[in-house]
Amino acid sequence: MNKHSEPTRSADAQQVTLRSPAELADALPFLMGFHPSDSVVLVALHGDEGRFGGRLRLGIPRSPREWEPVSVQLAACLVEGSERRGSRPEGIVAFLCQDPGDGATGRGVRDRLQPLAQLIRTGFGRLDIPVHEVLCISDGRFWSYCCPDTRCCPPEGTPLALPGTSVMAAASAYAGIQVRGSLREMEARLEPWHGSAERAAKQEQALDEAAGALVPRILGGGNREQVGVSTLRAARDLMDRLAQAAPAPPRREEGGWGIEGADGGTDAADDRLIADEEAAAVIIGLQDRETRDRAAQWMEGPDAEPALRLWRALARRCVGSYAEHAVAPLTLAGWVAWSSGDEPTARVALGLALRLDPTYTFAQLLHQAFNEGLDPETLRRCMRGERVAAGRQQPCQVRQSTAKQTKKSMRKSMRKRVVRKATIKKATPRTVPSPRLRPGPPATRGRATGRSGQRGTKSGK
């Protein structure tokens, strides 16, 4: 049995000891904030105590031919990110999470992914970093690729613990940590409607009409400021409307911790509160970079929760050939979630944005800052200053975009990090209980591909 724990001693953090592959498998959703699906998850270990460090998640490539180069790239990314945070990993724990397809079994998934597990081990081996454990999680069971003892890791797999019964679950419940369902459920809250074709067709028609009316005004320049003002006014009205309708509470499972479902009752209610024409006008208006940057200033206090609900709702309305228009609301959703301390939602939203448009600058910068463990307060200060400055400026004055402000703030923070070798404290309201394999700031760096068709104006960068 591979053991990955030694006592850690910290006066300000609750410690949880993870002694076996079973406890590692049960802890994974709490480390990520959701149940990873169809994912490779890598976790860096530091020090003799095996403290958890950076985490990296990427979808499992469908073609086995991609597994070797992806494994090499994942190893390099995790090590590079850890070194930028101050220390090179001294070990790795890896998880391969994938449910079986029709007619398949979890054991079949284990056998099929075994070459990927070996490539991950050799990828880190080239960097002289040992992989202490690789677990396959599938169909409610787990298998260890590293433990040869069939008494604890039988060939048929070991059932995962019942929800809420593990040590990590108890500690997380005590700390108020929520697991937000599966990755698929979280993505479904941000993806275009997949239900009624008639419903989607009506929304697409509304987007056609809004694009026809607004794009010439945005590109013409003369009415661009007016379009921005009307877009922000409409978005503000929708936020106020959503704020008056309280979100549905998260459903509960037997374990007792909060879990948001595919919509949790809130998304469907929010969709009913927003007319197709209202959504279309704001979506098209947000394609203007300056309008999007001003909307990003709704990132804290009472604005944050209705803003996140609005950006989710607008991302779901980007149907059909308007799929790429979702990049702006997805990026805004990721920013508000990160600013509010909701790291799992931020990670998923920014990942979807970059999957649609890998060149979208604002999403790239936010994703990089998030992965570097920077404090979002740095960017919040920039946006507060920009909001104050905007009140003193005339419409014709040129303002520096939020993307540029983000880049400047990141460079400044990174220079301070190099000179002082200081750790920037993350502004999150609560943290996962710290196991003796202690979780640290995430280090996800996936490279997603795939572009969708679009109409109207290109998404702003």
Q: What is the pLDDT of residues 326-358, one digit of tens each?
A: 999 999 999 999 999 888 899 899 999 999 999
- The beta strands (E) that lie in 295-446 are given as 434-435
| CA 55/CA 41 separation, integer angstroms | 7
Q: Say if residue 421's pLDDT is above 50.
A: no
Q: For residue 385, what are the contacts with CB-CB under 8 A and spacing of at least 6?
A: none
Give me the chain's average pLDDT, please: 77
Highest mean pLDDT among 15-19, 310-314, 339-343: 310-314
Given pLDDT bands bounded at 50, 70 and 90, which one contains residue 17? low
- Bridge pairing between strands 158-159 and 141-144: antiparallel
Confidence of residue 193 (pLDDT cuts 50, 70, 90): confident
Per-residue tokens: 461: 């960068």
Lowest pLDDT segment from 54-68, 181-195, 234-248: 181-195
Read off the tokens for 254.
Answer: 């037997």
Residue 164's pLDDT band (cuts 50, 70, 90): low
Q: Between 86 and 43, whose confidence is greater?
A: 43
What percentage of the chain has pLDDT greater than the value 70?
A: 71
pLDDT value at position 395?
40
- For residue 405, the model assigns a pLDDT of 53
Cβ-based neighbours of 212, under 8 Å, separated by 6 or more:
none
Q: What is the mean pLDDT of residues 135-158?
A: 89
pLDDT in the model for residue 356:
94
Among the ranges given (16-25, 296-305, 316-325, 388-397), the one the predictor scored with the smallest mean pLDDT: 388-397
Q: Which residues contact 384 (CB under 8 A, 6 or more apart)?
A: 297
Q: Give the residue among 441, 442, 440, 434 at the shortest CA–CA distance from 168.
A: 434
